[in-house]
Structure 1
C-alpha cells in the first residue's frame, strides 16, 4: 500500500464511522460567548473554567509584558530564553504548591512527554490509568519502559500490577480530574498503594489546578497528596496556555539536563509568563475564590436539571459535565441541534473516547450566568 493509499484508507474509515474530526473557525471562542461566521453562541465547550482569559488584569499584564520584553523569548531557556518573568513565575508556583522547584513548559503535552521520556528506562514499568490523557499514554508507549494500564480509578488493580516483579523502577501515572469523564481520581488511595510499592507517582492535574482544592491549589491538595511529579497546565483554570512540572530539586536539575522538550524548544514568551503571573494572583486571591464558588453553583444547578434528561451522566462534580449519547451520528446531530438553538457544544467521539460512548462534552465556567445554564437545560431537554 502506497503512502497515498494508506492516507486515503484511514480518512475513508473515519468518514464511514462518523469519527472524522473537523476544525471550526471562530472569531472568539474562550469566554462566555463564542462567535463564528457572524453568529453568537453561548459557549459550553471552553476549558476557561474561571473565565480568566478575558480578565482585564491578565490581558493588561500580557500587554505590558509585550511592551517590556517583546512578543517572543528569542530562544530556548538554555540559551537566551529564560527571563526574569519566567524565573519569578516558577518560584511563585513552587511556593504556592509546596514544592522545591517548578519548571515551565510550552504546553501540557510537552511537559508530560518530556518527563516520561527523560525518566523511563529499559527495565522500568509505567502503570497508568487506562483513561489517562493521550500525551501520557503516548509517551509511555514510545518509551523503553514497559507500559501496563489499570482499570479506571481502580487502586486495587493498580496494587496487583505494582506487585508483579520488575527489573527497574515503577512510575504510576494518573490525572487529577479526567478530561473526558470529568470525574476525580481517588488520589489518596492511589498514593498509598504507590508508596507501599516503592514507586513514584505522577499526577496530571490539568483540569483541577486553579479550580479545586483550597485556594485553587488543585486535586492533589484537596486530597492531601503530594505526588513526586505534579503536572499543571495553564490553558484551563489559568485561562492562558503553557504548563509546569512541580518536583524536587534533584528531579528539576535532572530535567534541566535531560528533558529534550525543555532543552530544544523555544521557551514561552516572557509576556505570557507575565500574564500567567497575573492569573495566579487572581486565582489565589479573594476574587479567585468568588469565581470558584460561582462555578460550583453552576455545576450544582446543571446537575439538578440534567438528572431529568434521558442521556446518561457521569459522576463528575467538576466543570466537565459529559452527557453520554452512545451513537456517533446521534451525538453529532445533537451538537448541531444545540448550535441551531444558540448553544455551542462539541460532540466527542472515538477514538478520543471508547467505542459506544460518544458524548456531548459540556463545560461550565464562572463566566456563565445562571440564565445561561437554564437555557442550556431547556435546549438539551428539547433535543433529547
Structure 2
C-alpha cells in the first residue's frame, strides 16, 4: 500500500519546480545583513527602551501570562497597554489579543455569524480571509479598493447586519485603501467598517496613529480597527480598537480571545514601551516614508505611500534568484511568491526602516541597483541620494 503521506513528496516536487518551495532560515544573533525584509518599520525591536520594557515585565510578571485573559492571563500591564493604545489611536477602548491574526479572527467572527453579510476586499490579508471563512456568515468578495462594488454588495443584501473588512495598507503592494469613501458607503447602508491597520500604525496618520486617524475616522461609532504589535511597535501581539460596547462583546463572544492564552508579559511590556517611544518621537513615522522613497528611486518603482516597497519581477524563479543575490551582497529582502501574491507578480518586497543609517541606506541602494541590473528587473534610474535632510531628529 502507498504510504498515506506519500502525496506530500509529489506536492513538494511540484512546488520546487514552480519556484514556490519555502524553507526556514534562522537568523544568528549580532550584526548581519542589512534588513529590508522584516516589518520592524520604526527600528524599535532592538531599542534599549523597548527591550527594557520587556525585561522589566519579565521580572515582575514572569515568563508567561499563565492562562487565558478571562482566567489569570490579564494583568495591570495589559490594562495599561489597552488604555494607552486606545488613547493614542483615538478609539474609545482596546482589547489585546495574542497576535494580530487572532485579533482579526476574533473581531470578524464575533461581529458577524449566521444571518450577517461580510464584504471582503479581494486583496485582504490571509487573517481576514480565514476570519471570513470561519464566520459562518455569507461572504462576498469584491474588487480591491472599490467602494462602488462594496456599495453594490451592501445594497443588494437581504441580511440585517453587514460588516465590511479591508486592510488600510496592503501588505504586499503597500497601497492605501480609500477609507473615507468606504466609510461613506458603509454609513449609507448601515454597515460596520473594520480596518486592519497592521501596516498603517506607526507609518500613516499624525505621528503614526494610522490611516483611520489620517482620515478623521478613528473613534467613529461604526468603525473598528485591528492592529498588530509586531510590526511598527517591534514586539508581538495584536489588538482590536473599538467602542467599549464592542470590546465588551468580544470578551463574551470572540473565541480566539476566550480560549487563547493571554499575551505574555514580556511582549506586553515591550509593546507598551514602544508605544510610548512612538508617542514621544513622532518623527519616526515620517522617516519611514522618506526611506521608502529613497528605496523606490533606487529600484525604479513608483514612490510608495507606506513602508512597503514592492519591486515586481514577475517570475517566481527570478524573484528567488534576486533575493539570493541580494543576500550575497549583504542585504536581506523579502521575496513574495504565490499564494502570497497573484501568479505572474512575484516580487522583492522591501520594507523601509526609520533607524537605517545613511551609510546602510547607501549600501542597500547600491546592492539593489546591481542585482536588478543582473536579473533584468525594473528600469534603474541614476543613484538617488540617501542623505538625510538637515534638521531631521535622530
TM beyond 0.5: yes
User: Equivalent residue for 1:18?
Assistant: 19
Aligned with 2:209 (options 191, 213, 217): 217
- 1:65 aligns to what? 57
Distance 1:381 1:247, change over 3 A: same
Q: 2:323 aligns with which of 335, 347, 351?
A: 335
Q: What is the CA deviation profile of residues 80-108 of structure 1, one whole-angstrom value per residue up to 9, with x for unaligned ones?
A: 11111111111112222222221000001
Separation in 1, partners of 2:244, 2:9: 49
Query: Which shifted more, 96-105 or 183-192?
Result: 96-105
Distance 2:212 2:161 in 1: 23
CA distance in 1, matches of 2:60, 2:157: 55
1:127 to 119, 122, 128: 119
**Distance in 1 between residues matched to 2:136 and 2:286, nearest whole Å:** 44
Q: Give the C-alpha shift of residue 173 in structure 1.
A: 0.5
Structure 1: give runs of 5+ residues left out of the alignment: 29-33, 308-312
What per-residue deviation string (whole Å, max 9, x for no partner) do you get for residues 301-346 of structure 1? Answer: 2223332xxxxx3663211101000001111111111111111112
- Contact 1:118–1:258 (8 Å) recurs in 2: yes
Query: Aligned residue for 1:310?
Result: none
1:181 and 1:314 in contact (8 A); partners too: no
In the alignment, structure 2 segments of 5+ residues that lack a partner are 373-394
Matched, 1:193 2:181: no
The reply to whether residue 318 of structure 1 matches residue 306 of structure 2 is yes
* 1:31 aligned partner: none
Residue of 151, 165, 171 corresponding to 2:163 = 171
Query: Is the Cα–Cα contact under 8 Å of residues 289 and 352 in structure 2 kept in the other structure?
Result: no
Instruction: Sort the Cα spacing of 1:374 and 1:244 in 2 relative to 1 into closer, same or farther, 3 A.
Output: same
| TM-score between both structures, scaled by the size of structure 1 | 0.92
Q: Which residue of 1 aligns with 2:388?
A: none
8 A contact 1:120–1:143 mirrored in 2:
yes
- Asked if the contact 2:296/2:302 (under 8 Å) is kept, the reply is no
The TM-score with structure 2 as length reference comes to 0.89
Number of aligned residue pairs = 368
Say whether residues 1:56 and 2:48 are aligned partners.
Answer: yes
C-alpha displacement at 1:194, in angstroms?
1.1
The match for 1:156 is 148
Of the candidates 354, 361, 364, which is equivalent to residue 373 of structure 1? 361
Matched, 1:91 2:83: yes
Displacement of 1:116 in angstroms is 1.5
Partner-residue secondary structure (3-state), 2:201: coil
Shift of 1:121: 1.8
Partner of 1:345: 333
1:361 to 349, 353, 358: 349
CA distance in 2, matches of 1:383, 1:277: 39
Give the superposition deviation at 1:134.
Answer: 0.3
- In structure 2, what is the equivalent of residue 204 of structure 1? 196
CA-CA distance at 1:69 after TM superposition? 1.1
Q: 1:66 to 1:44 in 2, by over 3 A?
A: same
Shift of 1:364: 1.1
